[in-house]
Structure formats: C-alpha cells, structure tokens
Structure 1
C-alpha cells in the first residue's frame, strides 16, 4: 500500500490499455538524444553570446523573452498536431524523426556564427534570435511527442517509474556530456579560451549523436493501435477542458517554478564559476561532473522511495529538499566549497527528476479516463505553456543583473560580477522552489494507476480513502468527500 494521498481519478473498469512491445530501456535512452543539444543550448548559449561574442545582456534578455513567449505558444500547436495524427507510422514517431533532423541543423547554426555576423551588433542579434527560436521550436516538436509516449506506452505506475528512471538517468548522462564536459571540450580540446569556435565544433558532434539516438528510439517505439480509434480531440474544446482542470494550474505552477530554477542554473553555472568562484573551464567541468554524478547515484535512492511511499509523497519531500539545497551556493567561495554546495543541490534535484513526470502522468491518466481520448500531447504542451514561460523569468533575472549589479557582458561586467551571479544562481532558484514547495502542499493528486491484478476497484477505493484520511494536507481543497477509484 502506498503511503500517499489519492483522490478521484476516473479509471476504466478493466485494466488500462497499453502498447506492448516497447522496451523501457529503448524508450528511456531516447532522452539522452533529446537532452544533449538542448542542454548545450541552455548551458552555453548565454556564455557564448554574451561573454565571448559580446552581445549586450539587455539585448540577450529581450530576445530570450520573445523566445520564452514563442516557446510557450508553439507547444500547444505541436501537441495538438501530434494527438490528431493518424498514420501507418503512429501518432508520435513522425514528429520524433522530423524534429531530430531539424534540431541538429539549428543547433549547429546557433553555435557556428560567421565572422562577419559576429562583428556586427545588429547581425549578431538577428542571428541569435533566428536560431535560438528555431532551435526551441525543434525541441518543442520533439518533446511534445516524446513526453506523451510515457503515459501511453507504460500504463501502470511501477513500470512507468522504471521507464522514467531510465530516461532521467539518460538525461543526467546527457547533462554530464553537455554541461560538465562542454567547458573543457569547447575551450581546451576543440577550441581555445576566449573563442567560440570550439562550441561550434561541439554542436556538430552533439547534433549528429542526438539525431542518431532519437531515430533509434523512434524506430523501436510500438504505439498502441487501439488509441487510433479514439475520437480526435478538438482544439478549442480540449483547451477549454484542460484550462478548467484544477491540476493543470496547480501542478503546472509547481512544474514551472522547478523548470525556471533549473533554467537559471543551466544558463548561469559557467558564469558563476568564472566570476563568483574565480574558476577556470576545468573547474566548471569538475563542479558540474560531481553534481551530476551524485544526482545519478541519488536517482536510484529516490526511485526506491517512490516504490515504497508513492510518487506524490516523494514529490512533496523532494521539492523542499531541492529548495534548501541552493542555500550553500550563496556562501561558496572556491571550487572546494562550490562542490560541497553542489552536493546539496544534487540531492534535491534528483528527487524532483524522479517524481515530477510521474505526477504529471497521473493528471494525464485522469484526463484520458474522464474524456475518453488520449490527448497527452496537447495536455503536456499546455503544461509547457506554463513551464516554458520560464524564459521570461530567466530574461527578467538576467536583466536584473544589469540593473542592480551593472553586469552587461564579459567586456562590461560591472563592479561586482561575483555577487551578481551568486544571487542569480542561489537566491533566485531558492525563491522559485520555495513557491513550488508551498503550492505542492495544497494539491491532492489523482490516484496512481495500479498493476493488473493488484486488487479490485473496491479494495483500491478503500485503501485510497484510508490514505486520504491519514494525510492532513489532503483535505485542504475540500475534496475529501468525493469518491475515489483506483
């Protein structure tokens, strides 16, 4: 019995349908491919354009704000198209294939800036805007379909947790490569300090590897053909129903806070190491490698907690742990103290990784059961509208450094860039995750999908009622009297 709350998630009377034949390993490894180029973008784009190429931080922030808005708007469109697609290759696979190829091209272009363009302030701004936005769109196209496959391919929470653990592990390996190794590879192996050439060469390598992995996963996916018989969702009706779902706003807000906090970390870590810790490219790689390695190790610990206590209980624990983990970063002064502070971040970060998608998948299960059609792509995209607006928060955070600390670029860092990035990488994420923690305490999640034969619906209902009664936070929304089905 899972020690967590569970409320009215409508479930079919028979065991949930699921596509069979897709390996959790093959699906999960795909996240290495989806994560590699986009984390190069998130982790190095700010450093390359502002620190190395001299793009004004305010111009960067303005473009990034537009990036955030478009990122939010295109998500529902791609999710809707994916949900409505009916083809001999499935609903999701065509978008994985096309998106992988486009993402490779745009990522390479983003980091390969011609000399004449780099020498022109206007040309550099336009180049950055065009390829940052098209790279974002390709990433959205891929993830609208890849994310939708998790609840559709793996319909029970235990098997779903296994697939999610594999894909989050694959994502962390991608983070090792795209974040921890990038400073050394780009600035010492493939290029030199003070030059963006190494980043362009690395983008080519990452782009090709990413496309190969995504295509391998796409070819191994076996979607459930029974889902094609479901009615195609209508856009405006579906959007209205999603927007009227309380979990969209509450879970979406928590997810957005977490996403914004991690976007700040990914974008600012190299600058934090350079200005706050006074470190080199090697120091940045060492710090990131240690943090990600610990996160990978902790992922199995958090997954074990999920199996014992349930996703919702573990999720609520991981969020405050993640928030508090950012406090030590404020006090770090060198590589050693930075690593010690990073260990605290790693523990909470891996906990949210292990649980966040499982929580969202429960909301998708409940929506499919209630409305009779799987529209995971559109629903995830709607979550993405909230989550991907973190681009606006990132832009505001960067602009605040120019306003409060005088940091505008590597050539004009202001009087105290060390303090600027201490606030950027510690205080801002702490505030965001604290908000997410508070909101999570007032959310009652739908019941977890159960393994076939785990018990009758009546038994599940009794267990859920018992658990809800034991949870003091479960009655905060006044939903305790509603029926529960498992």
Structure 2
C-alpha cells in the first residue's frame, strides 16, 4: 500500500511552480513593451505564434508523461527536469541585452517566452495530474487544492506584489532593466529548490501506471469527443484569459490609469492576494457544504462583477476597495476551478479504464494557451483604438487604454463564463459516489 502524501508536501510545489511563470506573465509587458520599447504589434504576433506552437506541443508533452514508466513514477522525473529549466529560462527572459532593438529584440522575446511556457506546460501537466491521483475523495482533494492555492498566493505576493518594488525601486529603477535580472536569479533559485523538495516527498500510486500505455492519436480523438472537455475547457478559458490580462496589465494600469508609480502596484496586488488567502478557507467550507460545481458558478459571478469596480476606480483607495471584491471572486475560482477539472479527469478514467491525466490536462492546456492569442490581440487593440504602441509611444489615452485592458475585456470574458457555467453539469468523483452509496439512508 502506498504511503499517503501529506497535503502540505504536495501543495508546497505550487509555490515553486508559480514564482517563475507569474513573474514572466506579470512583468513581460512592462519589461519588453514599456521599458525596452517592443512594439505592441510585434508583441501580439509573437504571442499568437507562441500560442499555436504551445497548443501543438502540449498534448505531446502530456502523452509522454502518461507513457513514462520508471521506478520513481510517471510524473516525478518530469518535474525534476522541468523545474530548473523553467528557472533558467526565466533568467534568460529577463536578461535581454539593452543594446537589442528591432528584430533582435523580437527574436529574444520570442525564444525565451516560448521556452518559459514550454517548461511551465511540462510542470503543470505533471503536477496537476497528481491531484486526482493522490487524493481521490473531493473533500480531501479540496483541502489539498486549497493548500496549494494558498502557496500559489504566497508566491504571487512575491512574484507580483513585491516584484514591482524590487525591480523598479530596490534593485533597479523605473526605466532600467538591472533589477529584473537580479530578481529573476533570486526567484529562479528559490523555485527550483522548492520543486525538488516537493518531488522528494510525494509518492505516486503505482496502480495508475498500468501496463497498457495510452496511445496518442486514439487518446486525442477520445478526448475531443468528450463534451465535457469542450464545455469545461472553453468556460475555464474565459477565466484564465481574464486573469492573464489582469496579471500582465496591473502594473501599467497603476502607472497610466491611476497615475501612480509602478511600485504602488504592491498595494493593489497585496490587497487582492491577502483577500484571496482569507477567502480560500471560506470557499473550502462552501465546497464541503454545497459542492464544487455550485461554488464554482458563484465564484465566477463574483469575479465578473468585481471588474466593474476596478473600471470605476480613479485613485489608490477606490482601487483597493475594488481589489477586495476581485480577491473574493478570484479565491473562489482558485478553490473550485481545478476541482471541476479533476472531476472531468475522474470521469474520463472511469469511462475509458485508463489514467491519462497528463494527456487530458495538456489538452485542457490548449485552451489556456488561448491566453497568448487573446491577450496579444487585446494589447494590440490598444494601439489601434487608443494609440498606445509602447512606452516610447504611449499615445494620448494610455490611462483609458489600460482600463479597457484590465477591466472591460476581463469583465466581458468572465461574464460569458459565469453565464455558461450555469448550464454545465460535471459528475462527482467516483470515490465519493461509492462512499455515498455505502452510507445508510436517513
């Protein structure tokens, strides 16, 4: 019998996986577009190309993970390799020579953006696949997920809230890149160490690694024929794309829309994250009482409404007040979205008789890679409609431009997601249904 993995040991891995990629997503526009002068049109093209490449390689990466058979398990070897590679790619991403311009800058940005996201895809496919395997019952799964989202929020405090102050005030300045490189090195070392520590302490269930290895083409056909894949994937993409815009645009929202120093993003991000940390405990109780599906629908609606407050904010105080509601909705999505995905994975394993969580999560990741296309097009639209092309050519309405990017676009996406979620039903985990069947009727 496999010794159970303590939820905290699995959950701490989220701290390591979150720091690098969130620094990349949270600071890429500020670093490349506003400071180095990369044109938003080039940014949009690169993100579109990246999304296509990533959508194609994601299923292959998940398929390779599902077929891996070692004495250390299926997922652990991939995690050990991808963690340090992500850290190294992030350091390269924030080490662009200041002499680069034009096509040279575009190529540097494209190469390291794609490397970072490829490594992140490997990490997420393998790390996420362990959640339903290690914790088959939804209540314990919800506890482990809340803990790991708590670690993610702790990582966000560092990689998003603290980073602007470190990169533009403590270790660098508003218009230099030195602070970004130093910060990336520190974060990379921490992230790699935490991921390896997590991997050492978890134990995979050998029963999930059957002798029969999943087939790529047959597996993809089966997945795309599953209606839940499309329903949950597309609705989840509405949430993922919206939050990707928020994370990437908040620093410039603070600079242009609120008229404050970039380092002041610390306060807005801090309030959102602190509210999210506190909300996780509440949402975990709501899940235990009402189930993940009901909680997911409610959280979606709260998150959508919160963007109205951010749009109306015209100073730090009103933005902080709106941030409280953003945190409440976001924590609900953090607590519930992965549980809904895990239910889909359970349902797939039950229907097909094989555990191919890596392939399925990577296929779900294809929807997530829409982030790059949609956020790239959204940023490009700021140049078309509002004249913001870069920090060197911000146009006449940069403040309104980033209200659109951070508030209006995310509101539209999450409102669509909240409405669509009302019409989605996902079966409970099989382990919970069997437990309910054994309990005597009252």
TM-score, length of structure 1 as denominator length: 0.89
- What residue is the counterpart of 1:189 in the other structure? 170
Shift of 1:180: 0.3
Structure 1: gaps spanning 5 or more residues: 1-17, 464-486
Kindly indicate whether the alpha-carbon contact (under 8 Å) linking 2:167 and 2:183 is maintained by their aligned counterparts in 1. Answer: yes
The alpha-carbon distance between structure 1 residues 453 and 129, as it changes in their structure 2 partners (threshold 3 A), is closer
Shift of 1:450: 4.0
- What residue is the counterpart of 2:13 in the other structure? 30
Mapped to 2, the partners of 1:328 and 1:397 lie a distance apart of 20
Shift of 1:283: 1.3
Tell whether 2:41 aligns with 1:75: no
Question: Aligned to 1:326, what secondary structure does the other structure show?
Answer: helix
- What residue is the counterpart of 2:239 in the other structure? 258
Tell whether 2:80 aligns with 1:97: yes
Kindly indicate whether the alpha-carbon contact (under 8 Å) linking 1:257 and 1:387 is maintained by their aligned counterparts in 2. Answer: no
Kindly indicate whether the alpha-carbon contact (under 8 Å) linking 2:136 and 2:429 is maintained by their aligned counterparts in 1. Answer: no
Structure 2: gaps spanning 5 or more residues: none
Shift of 1:287: 0.9
Tell whether 2:335 aligns with 1:354: yes
- What residue is the counterpart of 2:367 in the other structure? 386
- What residue is the counterpart of 2:325 in the other structure? 344
Shift of 1:451: 5.2
Tell whether 2:420 aligns with 1:439: yes
| Higher deviation after alignment, 225-234 or 436-445 | 225-234
Mapped to 2, the partners of 1:115 and 1:332 lie a distance apart of 35
1:400 to 369, 381, 384: 381
Mapped to 1, the partners of 2:83 and 2:48 lie a distance apart of 25
2:182 to 186, 201, 214: 201
Tell whether 2:201 aligns with 1:214: no
Aligned residues: 442
Instruction: Compare the two structures and name the one with the higher helix fraction.
Output: 2
Write the deviation string for residues 310-332 of structure 1: whole angstroms up to 9, x where unpaired: 10111111111111111011111
Write the deviation string for residues 229-267 of structure 1: whole angstroms up to 9, x where unpaired: 241111111111110111000000111000000000011
Mapped to 1, the partners of 2:38 and 2:401 lie a distance apart of 18
Write the deviation string for residues 387-426 of structure 1: whole angstroms up to 9, x where unpaired: 2212110011001101000100011001110000011111
What's the C-alpha RMSD, in Å, of the aligned pairs?
1.6
Question: Aligned to 2:259, what secondary structure does the other structure show?
Answer: coil
Mapped to 2, the partners of 1:44 and 1:455 lie a distance apart of 47
Shift of 1:71: 2.2
Shift of 1:104: 1.2
- What residue is the counterpart of 1:43 in the other structure? 26
Mapped to 1, the partners of 2:211 and 2:419 lie a distance apart of 38
Mapped to 1, the partners of 2:55 and 2:314 lie a distance apart of 37
1:64 to 15, 40, 47: 47
Larger Rg: 1
Mapped to 1, the partners of 2:224 and 2:27 lie a distance apart of 35
Shift of 1:114: 1.8
- What residue is the counterpart of 1:468 in the other structure? none
Question: Aligned to 1:188, what secondary structure does the other structure show?
Answer: helix
